[in-house]
Chains A and B, each alone.
Chain A
Amino acid sequence: MSSPAPEPKPAAPAVSPPGASAPPPPNPLPQIALPFQGVDHALKGYHADATVAPDQVVFAAEQMDRAGFAIDTITGVDWIAQQQMEIVYDFFHPVTGLRAVVRTRVPRDNPELPTISGVFPGANWHERETHDFFGIRFAGHPNLTPFLLPEDADYHPLRKDFTS
Chain B
Amino acid sequence: MIVKENIATDAETGRETFVINIGPQHPATHGVLRVKMTMDGEYIVRAEPVVGYIHRMQEKMGENRTYAQYLPNTSRIDYLSAMTYTHAFVGAVERAARIQVPPRAEYIRVITSELNRISSHLVWWGAFLLDLGGFTPLLYAFDDREKILDLLEGITGSRLTYSYYRIGGLYNDVDDAFLKGTREFVHHMRPRLKMYRDLVTDNIILRKRLENIGPISAELCRKYGATGPVLRGSGVPYDVRRAEPYSVYPEFDFLIPTFPEGDSMARYRVRMEEMAQSLRIIEQALDKLPAGPVMADKVPRVLKLPAGDYCYAVEAARGRFMVCIVSDNKEIPYRVKLRTPCLSNLSLFEEASRGLLLPDALAVMGSLDLVIPDIDR
Interface residues, chain A, CB within 8 Å of chain B? 7-8, 10-17, 41-46, 68-73, 75, 77-78, 88, 90, 92, 94-95, 97, 99, 120-122, 124-125, 133, 146-150, 157-158
Contacts and interface: CB of A to CB of B under 8 A. Distances in A.
A147 B52 contact: yes
B223 A17 contact: no
B103 A12 contact: yes
B279 interface: no
B233 to A, nearest CB: 13
B221 interface: yes
A44 B311 contact: yes
- The secondary structure that dominates the B interface is mixed
A49 to B, nearest CB: 9
B78 to A, nearest CB: 16
Interface string B227-258: 00001000010100011111111110000000
B59 to A, nearest CB: 6
Contacts of A90: 311, 322, 324, 339
Interface string B335-348: 10101000110011
Given A45-B311, A97-B238, A148-B55, A122 B347 contact: yes
Interface of B: 51-52, 55, 57, 59-60, 63, 92, 95, 98-104, 106, 218, 221-226, 231, 236, 238, 242-251, 290-292, 308-313, 320, 322, 324, 326, 334-335, 337, 339, 343-344, 347-348, 351, 376-377
A72 B319 CA distance: 11
B290 A11 contact: yes
A43 B308 CA distance: 11
Contacts of A150: 52
A58 to B, nearest CB: 15
Given A97-B243, A121-B223, A125-B343, A10 B104 contact: yes
A46 B324 CA distance: 10
A147 B231 CA distance: 24
Contact of A133 (B51, B59, B326): B59
Contacts of B60: 157-158
